[in-house]
């Protein structure tokens, strides 16, 4: 039973992608084309738990510096548990904790798919505001790096209930004609964008051989496609897209080779 409600405050395609994955929109995932076997449809839907999805203007269409951010934010939002904010103007993100606190929202997740949208200095400012207002927060870079942590009980509950965050799979293989082949993959926890389901689909029938499996995972991850930036992130010293690729590769290899 889902007990936490989600509010989305977003701009751009990534926020919409996460919403469509969570409601399991049957027109969302088209990557298998004519070979789609509807592996995820009908299995879950959290549409009843997304109590609002507020789309804000594209940051490129707003002033570079906003002196009165409340002018561009909703005057009131429904009371809920956790807000997921992505792709919004930096000054609006900085003002967001105050709005959430007034409306009783207790958690903020601001995924970073592009470090230019949420530079480290801004992240620290928002974290300080959340701490002052007693709002639990997380800035996963990328969203699929979000993990369970004791110091974040509300966000950890969100991960467990919605089964999204750092990918986790269960893989079953068996010997067939002297070759070990994958014949079953179940999703324990999906990347928030839904890409884990596609990677799982592409693993079926593949031989359990490390280089071959890495190639399958990398091609599937890029084909979905991952929306994280290919620009080198100054904090992690490599593209965020690469980090997302490592996370799903590790999840697969933990099942097959460790």
10-43 pLDDT, tens digit per residue, is 999 999 999 999 999 988 888 888 888 888 988 9
Which is it for the CA torsion 87, 93, 97, 100, positive or negative?
A: negative
Of 101, 128, 162, the residue that ends a domain is 162
Share of the chain above pLDDT 90, in %: 87
Share of the chain above pLDDT 70, in %: 100
224-257 pLDDT, tens per residue?
989 899 999 999 999 999 999 999 999 999 999 9
Q: Are residues 120 and 178 in the same domain?
A: no
Domain interval for residue 82: 6-162
* CA–CA gap between residue 136 and residue 192 (Å, rounded): 19
* CA–CA gap between residue 229 and residue 233 (Å, rounded): 9
- Which H or E element spans position 13? helix 13-22
Query: What pLDDT is recorded for position 243?
Result: 97
CATH number at residue 242: 3.30.390
In this structure, are strands 50-55 and 6-10 parallel, antiparallel, or unpaired? parallel
Q: Are residues 157 and 177 in the same domain?
A: no
> What pTM, to 2 d.p., does this model score?
0.95
Q: Are residues 55 and 137 in the same domain?
A: yes
Query: What pLDDT is recorded for position 29?
Result: 86
**pLDDT of 258 higher than 80:** no
**pLDDT of 79 higher than 90:** no
Q: Are residues 86 and 38 in the same domain?
A: yes
26 inside domain: yes
Tokens of 177: 């004609």
* CA–CA gap between residue 28 and residue 164 (Å, rounded): 17
Domain count, the chain: 2
CATH number at residue 51: 3.40.50
pLDDT band at 104 (very low <50, low <70, confident <90, very high): very high
Query: Phi and psi for 190 in degrees, rounded to 5?
Result: -100, 150
* CA–CA gap between residue 258 and residue 256 (Å, rounded): 6
């Amino acid at each position: 039973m889902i007990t936490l409600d989600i509010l989305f405050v977003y701009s751009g395609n990534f926020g919409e992608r996460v919403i469509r994955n969570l409601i399991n929109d049957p027109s969302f995932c088209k990557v298998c084309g004519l070979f789609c076997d509807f592996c995820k449809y009908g299995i879950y839907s959290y549409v009843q738990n997304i109590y609002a999805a507020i789309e804000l203007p594209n940051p490129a269409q707003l002033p570079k510096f906003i002196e009165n951010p409340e002018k561009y934010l909703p005057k009131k939002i429904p009371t809920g548990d956790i807000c997921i904010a992505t792709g919004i103007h930096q000054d609006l993100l900085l003002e967001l904790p105050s709005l959430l606190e007034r409306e009783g929202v207790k958690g903020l997740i601001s995924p970073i798919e592009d470090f230019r949208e949420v530079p480290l200095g801004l992240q620290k400012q928002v974290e300080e505001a959340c701490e002052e207002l007693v709002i639990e927060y997380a800035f996963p870079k990328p969203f699929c790096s979000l993990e369970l942590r004791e110091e974040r009980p509300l966000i950890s509950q969100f991960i467990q209930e919605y089964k999204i965050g750092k990918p986790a799979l269960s893989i079953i293989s068996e010997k067939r004609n002297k070759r070990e082949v994958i014949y079953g993959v179940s999703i324990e926890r999906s990347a928030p964008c839904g890409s884990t389901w596609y990677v799982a689909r592409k693993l079926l029938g593949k031989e359990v051989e490390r280089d071959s499996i890495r190639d399958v995972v990398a091609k599937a991850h890029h084909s979905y496609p991952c929306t994280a930036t290919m620009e080198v992130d100054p904090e992690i010293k490599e593209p965020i897209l690469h980090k997302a690729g490592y996370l799903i590769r590790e999840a697969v290899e933990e099942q097959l080779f460790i």
